[in-house]
Structure 1
């Protein structure tokens, strides 16, 4: 990454600007070095006039995307800030993102609720069709509610006038439900944040998490009537002096009309939490052997001196449903670029696969899990994802050079931020692991053929190891063989080599109890070359030891007889 930044900082040129995704500068307390890595899949305008380090990082993330080793906390910081800046409208207009489902009542129109963010959460791209949204057992949902009120116009007909006016309106209640059960509730808030805790994990099945709001309004309908009323009035008590007295009489009556609409935004989620199990062992040299398993995807294990990462990595991308906002009014709707860009964390299988770190002290023994077709990432997400079939790292076996075997000081790392947990030693079975001892002897030989007997046993107890009833095998002179109940295997082959080698390839220690380490053995077959080499070696070693002893004695004493051929 640093090399790419250095190369890009030397580039000169420009490209035509495109639509401004992501925002052109950081905000909400997210630092710049993190900000530019959060927008996978975006195409921004490239301004190469500046060549400082931060601008180079911007250009790097503009041309490609950066895989992340952890779900970034900055996503939640950003979303919380964006939620506070969702534009609000009056009662004559309602503004919503693209995928909002709208509902109408008698007077309430274009009522909708949308989740701005559900966090912490991670969308896991397991396959083309299976892409669950994992949420932590404790988190929050940011929402936005908007609506408009269609107040009927004043109408007159003859002496009768019907007049409407808005008396009140409010978000009567907002509820967060999981499969119908209310987790949290508030009211009178068009940008609510609802929280949940201690969600029961249960199975890995999908659950319905729903943000629900009820909006209410009250309108007053007033009917006004005007009537001209005339009466005869006599003066001086005579009919000839009668006059007509006319006046307009106005009367009104009012009624209140209530309206309420309930709207919902639902996400299919899976509650993500860790209860891992597995096996542990201690190698004869003191190394730690650890196997961890979980029935759904997880990231890896943090060890005392390193880390083992599974097949999963992360990226952060904006929610495209919030790219534009549509504003609805009584005379139509208009769509404009959205000033709000919520982010979502994603997990995907990376092409490099599971990796141990550092490799000098940590090794990956095995990875197992469900094998399935790798998903394709969105077209503009430039990341090295796996193509074809892959094995999900549900189970990871590792060997680490460490004297610290306290599992409670080690951590399992999840796909959802905040779900990391210390390993529970009670969930791990201890498997004994011993050294094996492999020996070879010549059982029979002729000028043409040679029979070799291999004997395999436990180094500490001498107990024979039968490979036919457990995983593992012997390779003798290139031929794979099994040992019997006595730990013996015999091989006959053409006599063409001066030496025969053998090795024991044990099965995985966590699948075979007790477990054994591998071993090797070599025996010379009495060939011409090896006979002379063996004779020379057998004669040279004692002579060399005698000469070395004499030299040391001569140097440490005053005898001065070295070299022994001095007087010759």
Structure 2
């Protein structure tokens, strides 16, 4: 991030020093706007204080050395852009001011005429994958434009006894129109800096601004004739001329249509499962009215200027020069972050159960060379859907927030499904047969309320929300087994001990009906069978017979010795 040393001048591609403008933003907010600045020069605090006689805020100091990122699309970009638009200064009647990329039009007398889209707000540039970026605009917003021109009249001249003089009578921008695709949606009186509000349908693909420029010119011809008496007679002819031109500029847009769906389920312990899905990138959703419990997707944000406006061209009939621009529009940029989805509060908030979306390539190569943010570097998932398990949720307050500032919606519940029930289950285990080397165990899985068997093998009773695993399973001793049509499964255990059988249900996002998990414990030991006791007795006899023989022999020898001592 390059800090500009200077009070009144602004070097090309460098923004003004924070809090030296009338933007309405404070020093810290302005300092975070400029992610495309070079990081080659960092001004430490002592150098800054020596240059300006004051200290910076902490945020300003950090932003001078690194790019600042945001968890939500900030509104600072829109506020700054409105201010920057007011800083565009058009030329006079003989000068036209335009960005180097402007589409200029010349007519007979009107030259270097242009209408250029300065910015659309709110809007977010979104990096989805390498070579695939989207320019999302809010369904309701504003178009900021710049319009300028110059009028070039022929030079006054005298040919023979006739003098021709040119005079610019009037010139103006008469009308400005805004089109969504080919439909006119707004019009306004002429101005060099139009601000036009709009409302767009979600299928609009292009916004276009048009402006009519008119000029009125007086041409005076004076013809001098010498009469016979030597006097000069002047014949004057006035001609009223007009010239007009229509200038235009357009931009492809993606109307950000946020229409999310939500599914709920209730766990036996009172917790709630929440799943939200939207078919385009979105920032996250809140679960409570106080906004303290939130879920964030993979998208993070930074703000950066439009580099096409770093310079302006001032053109006259005889000269053209580039000047530093004081009108620097800023956009929000969205990118997939390495941090991935997160919840708030961080240590006591919702638990993310699953996420799904499209798998895309990293868009890192598409970032501006001076932008350094925590963007994913490998393939990633777009998190169009996120499911969580939470202890706190106010269903009436659940709100989905988009990646365009100010765009949010209440997710709709699919009417055909309603709430997804989560049924309790009962898992039991019984030892069918066992010997000294193996035990055969039967696992039985049923619905707790009805006693109906739960079939896991070839289960087709699903209603997918996400592209997740469709089937649950029972895990015991490292084995994953599925129940048959009677809700039973048979496993073999080869080592004595206590085993926990755990039912891992298929996700409630995919299964209908959905089930809660359950567990049970089964114990097996060889001593629990008659043959095992007989085998143990035989082994005991084999182990202790030599000892008993030795003990018996010792007792007999002792008796013999005692008899020998007492004849």
TM-score grouping bracket, smaller chain normalisation: 0.7 to 0.9
**TM-score, with structure 2 as normaliser:** 0.83
What count of residue pairs does the alignment treat as equivalent?
A: 493
* 8 Å Cα contact 2:436-2:526 kept in structure 1: no
> In 1, distance between residues paired with 2:211 and 2:186?
12
1:201 alignment counterpart: 202
Do structure 1's residue 418 and structure 2's residue 406 form an aligned pair?
yes
User: Closer, same or farther in 2 for the Cα pair 1:265/1:34, shift >3 Å?
Assistant: same
SS of 2:129's equivalent in the other structure is coil
2:482 alignment counterpart: 482
1:275 alignment counterpart: 259
* 8 Å Cα contact 2:503-2:519 kept in structure 1: yes
1:500 alignment counterpart: 499
> In 2, distance between residues paired with 1:53 and 1:482?
68
1:217 alignment counterpart: 215
> In 1, distance between residues paired with 2:449 and 2:209?
64
* 8 Å Cα contact 1:112-1:263 kept in structure 2: yes
Q: How does 1:354-503 map to 2 (within 5 A)?
A: 354-359=341-346, 360-376=348-364, 377-402=367-392, 404-406=393-395, 408-425=396-413, 429-470=418-459, 471-493=471-493, 495-503=494-502
Q: How does 1:105-254 map to 2 (within 5 A)?
A: 105-197=107-199, 199-202=200-203, 207-230=205-228, 245-254=229-238
1:552 alignment counterpart: none
User: Closer, same or farther in 2 for the Cα pair 1:47/1:161, shift >3 Å?
Assistant: farther
SS of 1:161's equivalent in the other structure is strand
1:345 alignment counterpart: 332
> In 2, distance between residues paired with 1:150 and 1:504?
84
Query: Structure 1 residue 426: deviation in Å?
Result: 5.7
User: Closer, same or farther in 2 for the Cα pair 1:476/1:512, shift >3 Å?
Assistant: same
User: Closer, same or farther in 2 for the Cα pair 1:476/1:53, shift >3 Å?
Assistant: farther
User: Closer, same or farther in 2 for the Cα pair 1:447/1:250, shift >3 Å?
Assistant: same
SS of 2:509's equivalent in the other structure is helix
User: Closer, same or farther in 2 for the Cα pair 1:220/1:53, shift >3 Å?
Assistant: closer
* 1:23 counterpart (16, 20, 30): 16
* 8 Å Cα contact 1:278-1:429 kept in structure 2: no
Query: Structure 1 residue 32: deviation in Å?
Result: 1.8
> In 2, distance between residues paired with 1:71 and 1:500?
51
SS of 1:81's equivalent in the other structure is helix
* 8 Å Cα contact 2:127-2:336 kept in structure 1: yes
**TM-score, with structure 1 as normaliser:** 0.83
User: Closer, same or farther in 2 for the Cα pair 1:527/1:288, shift >3 Å?
Assistant: same
SS of 1:454's equivalent in the other structure is strand
Query: Structure 1 residue 45: deviation in Å?
Result: 5.7
Per-residue CA deviations over 1:464-513 (Å, capped at 9, x if unaligned) read: 111113311111211111101111000124x2231222211111102101
1:60 alignment counterpart: 62
2:99 alignment counterpart: 97
Per-residue CA deviations over 1:47-80 (Å, capped at 9, x if unaligned) read: 4215888444223112211211122122211111
1:76 alignment counterpart: 78
> In 2, distance between residues paired with 1:481 and 1:261?
78
1:242 alignment counterpart: none
* 8 Å Cα contact 1:350-1:385 kept in structure 2: yes
* 8 Å Cα contact 2:190-2:211 kept in structure 1: no
> In 2, distance between residues paired with 1:20 and 1:276?
40
Structure 1 alignment gaps of length 5 or more: 1-16, 231-244, 530-568
> In 2, distance between residues paired with 1:265 and 1:351?
37
Query: Structure 1 residue 18: deviation in Å?
Result: 7.8
SS of 1:38's equivalent in the other structure is coil
SS of 1:224's equivalent in the other structure is strand
> In 2, distance between residues paired with 1:378 and 1:437?
57
* 8 Å Cα contact 2:286-2:293 kept in structure 1: yes
Do structure 1's residue 301 and structure 2's residue 290 form an aligned pair?
no
SS of 1:508's equivalent in the other structure is coil
> In 1, distance between residues paired with 2:238 and 2:351?
81
Q: How does 1:537-552 map to 2 (within 5 A)?
A: none
* 8 Å Cα contact 1:224-1:251 kept in structure 2: yes
The root-mean-square deviation of aligned C-alpha atoms, in Å, is: 2.1
User: Closer, same or farther in 2 for the Cα pair 1:448/1:18, shift >3 Å?
Assistant: farther
User: Closer, same or farther in 2 for the Cα pair 1:421/1:88, shift >3 Å?
Assistant: same
Query: Structure 1 residue 19: deviation in Å?
Result: 5.7
Per-residue CA deviations over 1:148-191 (Å, capped at 9, x if unaligned) read: 11111011111112211111111011111110211211122111
SS of 2:340's equivalent in the other structure is coil
1:6 alignment counterpart: none
* 8 Å Cα contact 2:121-2:142 kept in structure 1: yes
SS of 1:80's equivalent in the other structure is helix
* 8 Å Cα contact 1:288-1:405 kept in structure 2: no
> In 2, distance between residues paired with 1:184 and 1:74?
26
* 1:262 counterpart (223, 232, 246): 246
